[in-house]
Every structure is written in structure tokens, then in C-alpha cells.
Amino acid sequence: MNSTNWSGNYTYLAPRSAAPRSAEELAELVGTAERVRIAGTGHSFNGIADSPDLRLSTEAMPTRIEVDPERRVVSVAGPVRFRELTEHLHARGWALANLASLLDLSVVGALCTGTHGSGSRLRGLASAVRELEILTASGEVRVLREGDAEFAGAVIGLGALGVVTRVELAVEPAFEITQHLYESLPWPGVVEHAAELLATAYSVSLFTGFNEDVLRQCLVKERPDRPHDADLLARLGARPVAGQRHPVAGGPAENVTEQGSPGPWHERLPHFRGGRIPSTGAEIQSEYLVPLDRAGEAIEGLRAAAPAFAHLLLVAELRSVAADELWLSGAWRRDALAIHFTWHRDQAGVEAALPAVEAALPDPRPHWGKVWAMPPDVLAERYPKLPDFRDLARRWDPRGRFRNDFLDEHVFGA
């Protein structure tokens, strides 16, 4: 098991680790540990996946992926990554509605932290969950279905409720996507029409450094049944670009998924190609979800605050996420603008700059897998269902077997 996370900005402190090979071994290890956490693929930028005692990898457990075409769901068990899942689905003519920027993430790890893609009509990835199977601290395996009282609290569960051993996700018929890239959008139009711009296609991402004269890139991911509004982009002064571009200035264009030609959903919705370094590697990420109807205010706030953080920034990405009902979702009960920051890997510098970023944003909810600065009492104000989640976790795990320092500090305020 890796001793650091993917980017190397966090070193796991767990004194023990193990890799069970069966459900029985897993249950036995969970049942005898003082404290236990499950490792995903280590793509989070904080200590969320760490443990003060035992860290378990599910890598050696059997995997199962099974599509039920009648119910339009796929059942996923074991250490499955999105790469394996999407290839399995596509080969059978099925698709997930949306994806994150890369396919290397474990499915369960991504769901646990509220991972999302972009799309004004698309909710976060956890909104695809229809059923959830969890091995709890008592050793009982619980199954929650959409509509069950605790379902909305458990789906984005931060690993605090137990080991997620199986999930069922909604699927739809496979579709094609074409990526169109535009550059150099003057700021006034972006500020005034941000929500419209993000709604111009199935999925849209805006890339910027916030301190440039114009918005660097607008990446449009279009479905054939929903052409993007090229007139809107022309009116906003966007310049269409032929050929590939990396979102980080000077980054290798061959590492990004193909732009300009149609292709399968799972080869176009992620920004980064398989087998290549996604993003930049030596980096730290932060992300905040703010109300979409305050997008202009957020962008102007960050443009004004840029002198406090732009020297640390490799690139920022603006995406939209549709409202959902999941308690710990950044888009809980509000359409959201997700503002992502890829920072140089300068932990102290980033931590020093984050208060200025957060002060510039209206009602920001930080992404659970990334780095933020706001103290726990402020975080609890941002996530109104956090007290309910605490109660849920205490009911399911009264002894705190699945707790770690990260949860104690940020969720339980211990």
C-alpha cells in the first residue's frame, strides 16, 4: 500500500496495514481493530483516508461488475476503478452520465468524498448511487436503497459509516462526446453570463489563473443530441481553437483527451488520458462549491484577491454541478459553481493563501478530498446537514471505530 497519497503532499501515519482477500477476512480485520480506515487509490490531498491504527486496502478483494439492463443499474463490488468500470459499461453499450477529470480513482473513494464532474444539468457522481452495501462497525452488513431514511446521509459518507462493499449506480445508453476548445474570453462577459456559459453544452469547464486579462480556456463537451451555443461564445468574444491544449499553460497536449473529434463518452468526459500523468503530478488541490447564482460575485472576488494566491496557482477550473439531496454534497439543495485550484506543491504557501481565497467566496463548501483553511465551526455552517451526519455516524459507529484525526477535527469537532 502506498505510504503517501498520489501527489506526495500527505504521508499516511497509520502504524498498521493489511489487504484482506475475502469478505470474511475483511470482517475479521474490521472486528478486531481499535480504529480502521479503508484506502482508495490515494487521490485525496488530505488525511481523510489515514488511520490512527489499521489501514485496509481492498485491492486483493474479488471484484464484480454486473449490469442489470432492465433496471438500468450497474452493481460494483470490490476495488474497482472508473477505468475498469467505464470500459466494462462501454463494451456493453452503457454509460455513466458523468465522470471526474480522470479515470484512475476508485469508484467508492470518489463517491465517499462527493467527487463531481461538470454539467449544469448533471449532479455529482454520488447522485448515480441507487443502492449501497456497507459493512458496519458491529459486523452487520447493511443495505440502503434510494428513498430509505438514511440513504441521503450515507452516500457521501467520508468512510465514517463503515466499509462500502458494493454500490449500485444508474446507467444510461452509451453516447458520444465532442470536445470544442475556445480561448481568450474577455472577463466582463464571463462574469455576467457565467451560469449561461456553463450551461452551453452537456459539460463545460473554464480554465483560468484569475490574474490574466482574459479567461484562458473554455472547454465544451458536447453531445450530438445537444449542440453547444456557438453564437453565445462568439458574442462573448471567445476564439475557437483547432488542435489540442493542456489546461496548464505549457503542459503536454498529448496528455489530454482528444479535442475536436467525436468519441466515446468515457474517452472524452475525463480531461486526462489513461497512462499519462493527469494534471501535473507534483501539486496540491483545493476546491469550493458556491451557489451558481452568485457565480459572478465569486469570480470577481477571486480576480480581486488574485495577488494573494496567483503565484502559487498552476490553473483554476470552473465547473457547474446541479443541486442534489445528498447531505454532504457541495451542491446540497443548490446548483453550484465548483471552483477548483491546482496549486504548486507548496503546502505552507497554499495553507497561508487559502484564507484569502475563502474570504473572496460567497458561502463556499470545500471539497472533502482536497485542502481548505476554514475552521470546523465555519465548515459546519457551510454544510447545514453536518450535525445530522454526525448523529448518523454516531448511531452506526458508537465507539468511533471508523474515525480518524481528519474526521475528529473537521466533522466531529472533537
Ligand X SMILES: Cc1cc2nc3c(=O)[nH]c(=O)nc-3n(C[C@H](O)[C@H](O)[C@H](O)COP(=O)(O)OP(=O)(O)OC[C@H]3O[C@@H](n4cnc5c(N)ncnc54)[C@H](O)[C@@H]3O)c2cc1C
How far, in Å, CA of 244 to CA of 252, rounded?
9
Using the minimum distance from each CB to ligand X, give the nearer residue, 364 or 369. 369
Among positions 360-399, residues that touch ligand X (CB under 6 A) are 367, 369
Distance of closest approach, residue 124 Cβ to ligand X, in angstroms: 7
CB atoms within 10 A of CB 216: 19
Q: Which residue in this structure is represented by grid cell 503536454?
A: 252
Candidate list 279, 286, 320, 329; residue touching ligand X; CB under 6 A: 279
Stretches 20-28, 37-45, 233-241, 256-264: which one binds ligand X (CB under 6 A)? 37-45
Using the minimum distance from each CB to ligand X, give the nearer residue, 193 or 410. 410
Using the minimum distance from each CB to ligand X, give the nearer residue, 119 or 159. 159
Stretches 14-22, 34-42, 179-187, 306-314: which one binds ligand X (CB under 6 A)? 34-42
Candidate list 9, 41, 57, 179; residue touching ligand X; CB under 6 A: 41
CB atoms within 10 A of CB 71: 13
Candidate list 278, 291, 301, 366; residue touching ligand X; CB under 6 A: 278
Distance of closest approach, residue 283 Cβ to ligand X, in angstroms: 8
Binding of ligand X at residue 78 (CB under 6 A)?
no
Binding of ligand X at residue 73 (CB under 6 A)?
no
Distance of closest approach, residue 38 Cβ to ligand X, in angstroms: 4
Using the minimum distance from each CB to ligand X, give the nearer residue, 78 or 189. 78
Distance of closest approach, residue 231 Cβ to ligand X, in angstroms: 29
Q: Which residues contact 187 (CB under 8 A, 6 or more apart)?
A: 213, 214, 215, 299, 303
Distance of closest approach, residue 263 Cβ to ligand X, in angstroms: 19
Angle, helices 347-359/295-305, rounded to nearest 10 degrees: 130
Q: Which residue is nearest to ligand X (CB)?
A: 109
Query: Residue 413: which of 383, 385, 390, 397 has the closest Cα?
Result: 390
**What Cα–Cα distance (Å) separates residue 215 from each residue in 115, 255, 290?**
25, 22, 19
Cβ atoms 30, 53 nearer than 8 A: no
Binding mask 148-187 toward ligand X (x if CB under 6 A, else -) reads: ----------xx---xx-----------------------
Q: How many positions of this chain bind ligand X (CB under 6 A)?
A: 33
Binding mask 88-127 toward ligand X (x if CB under 6 A, else -) reads: ------------xxx--xx-xxx-xx-xx-----------
Query: Residue 67: which of 98, 88, 87 has the closest Cα?
Result: 88
DSSP 133-200: EEE-TTS-EEEEETTSTTHHHHSS-TT-S-EEEEEEEE-EE--EEEEEEEEEEEHHHHHHTHHHHHTS
All three cell numbers of 26: 475483511
Q: Which residue in this structure is represented by grid cell 499516511?
A: 12
Distance of closest approach, residue 352 Cβ to ligand X, in angstroms: 22
Using the minimum distance from each CB to ligand X, give the nearer residue, 189 or 257. 257
How far, in Å, CA of 406 to CA of 49, rounded?
8
Binding of ligand X at residue 43 (CB under 6 A)?
yes
Candidate list 14, 26, 33, 38; residue touching ligand X; CB under 6 A: 38
Binding mask 285-324 toward ligand X (x if CB under 6 A, else -) reads: x---------------------------------------
Stretches 200-208, 212-220, 239-247, 277-285: which one binds ligand X (CB under 6 A)? 277-285
Strands of 187-298, DSSP E:
203-208, 214-222, 239-241, 263-264, 283-291
Query: Residue 284: which of 312, 317, 263, 325 has the closest Cα?
Result: 312
All three cell numbers of 158: 467520508
Candidate list 20, 42, 189, 364; residue touching ligand X; CB under 6 A: 42
Using the minimum distance from each CB to ligand X, give the nearer residue, 163 or 199. 163
**What Cα–Cα distance (Å) separates residue 202 from each residue in 256, 262, 267, 305?**
19, 14, 15, 31
Residue 367: what residue type?
H
Cβ atoms 182, 198 nearer than 8 A: no
Question: Which residues lie near ligand X (CB under 6 A)?
Answer: 6, 37-44, 48-49, 58, 100-102, 105-106, 108-110, 112-113, 115-116, 158-159, 163-164, 278-279, 285, 367, 369
